[in-house]
């Protein structure tokens, strides 16, 4: 599988929705600072570096079974965008909402 294909595959809805959330919050500001073409190049470069790092760690420290698991998602590219945001806007404040669920996993113990 190519590294570009791996950046567009995700492990589930929570994975892709989490990535989209972070891109919606931070990506637009970084794109405004870089311009659309430089932003796209930076995004793909971040994804490539993440896939290369994951591959190197698997080869160095993983087993043969670990090598059969493909890398999924654009989390490395998202991390690069977050890093760029924090470098470009070091003094910005980010308002967050933290939701705690006191429910239990299914089935609930009685």
Q: Is residue 67 part of a domain?
A: yes
Q: Is residue 99 part of a domain?
A: no
Tell me, yes or no, if the pTM score tops 0.85. Answer: no
Q: Which helix (H) or strand (E) holds 6?
A: helix 3-8
Question: pLDDT per residue over 50-99, tens digit each?
Answer: 989 988 999 899 888 888 887 777 888 999 999 999 999 999 988 887 77
Question: pLDDT per residue over 92-104, tens digit each?
Answer: 988 887 776 666 5
Q: Is residue 93 part of a domain?
A: no
Q: Is residue 72 part of a domain?
A: yes
Q: Is residue 15 part of a domain?
A: yes
DSSP 8-state code for residue 4: H
DSSP 8-state code for residue 72: -
What domain range includes position 9? 3-88
Structural domains of the chain, count: 1
| Contact status, residue 7 vs residue 74, Cβ threshold 8 Å | yes
Radius of gyration of the chain from its Cα atoms, rounded to whole angstroms: 17
End-to-end CA distance of the chain: 46
| Contact status, residue 80 vs residue 49, Cβ threshold 8 Å | yes
85 C-beta neighbours (distance < 10 Å), count = 20
């Amino acid at each position: 599988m190519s590294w570009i294909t791996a950046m567009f595959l995700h492990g589930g809805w929570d994975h892709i929705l989490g990535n989209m959330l972070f891109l919606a919050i931070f990506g637009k500001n970084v794109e405004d600072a870089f311009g659309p073409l430089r932003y796209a190049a930076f995004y793909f470069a971040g994804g490539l570096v993440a896939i290369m790092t994951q591959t190197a760690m698997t080869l160095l420290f993983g087993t043969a079974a670990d090598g059969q698991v493909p890398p999924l998602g654009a989390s490395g590219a998202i991390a690069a965008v977050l890093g760029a945001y924090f470098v470009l806007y070091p003094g910005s404040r980010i308002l967050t909402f933290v939701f705690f669920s006191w429910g239990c996993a299914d089935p609930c113990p009685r």
